[in-house]
Structure 1
């Protein structure tokens, strides 16, 4: 099978790669572009560990073909921090101990950012509903929810 040339924007940078038409976006990000933050937990879109934004829509990159990124914008966990400055969500996850092994954390962070981009003032119920597609075997979800709510308040300019 012949390879397909893909040009896309990943975390603000134009990138090109060759891919098999059947290869997932997750595999392209990890194997072709060296962006190993997104993880494959299930391969069926059920765990959220591979969550990325594709043209502003939260997707499971294990369910999207790499060729579907042609001409689109992909935002991954690697694009959240700006230089050495962590995104407020990343800082709050650390402050609230909202991670343990870290395998699911990139997916939670990308999904949380997608939520706050759409709804900067979510309720606890809305956060829990939005993150229901992300699974974690190590932590209780309460610390994750608290971290997201705290980051939302900071992003709105409210004192914690």
Structure 2
């Protein structure tokens, strides 16, 4: 899972409440530090943080509800993240979405969501059933190194 606190340089404030101003200031500092126009030829082999990752981090950490949900996701995924992601998370984008925002195709019985690379994230019923107890599923894009965490609830039918 992408560490939004690290992206914005707020690792030391992970367990504290953050004001909207603190998050906004950290976002601006991060933009200045990692923006491609500012860092051309000055990467020194460091993993670049994308503007999309910074924007996603800002969007989540500035909203108290999304931040609380993200923090819960961090706690849940920390125990089994290594089994899903076998590489450096700072180099990988991960978006957190609700299953309701993912399109379902009646004919193929598959859920899909377009990726910015032009490919797609594909989700099967089997994957959802297998992860029903956790209420989350992490899938990779078919065409690039981005990841999608899908949060969902299962309903018991009478």
Q: TM-score range by the shorter chain?
A: 0.3 to 0.5
- TM-score, scaled relative to structure 1: 0.33
Write 1 or 2 for the structure with the bigger share of helix: 2
Higher relative contact order (CA 8 A, sep 6+): 1
- TM-score, scaled relative to structure 2: 0.33
**CA radius of gyration, larger in:** 2
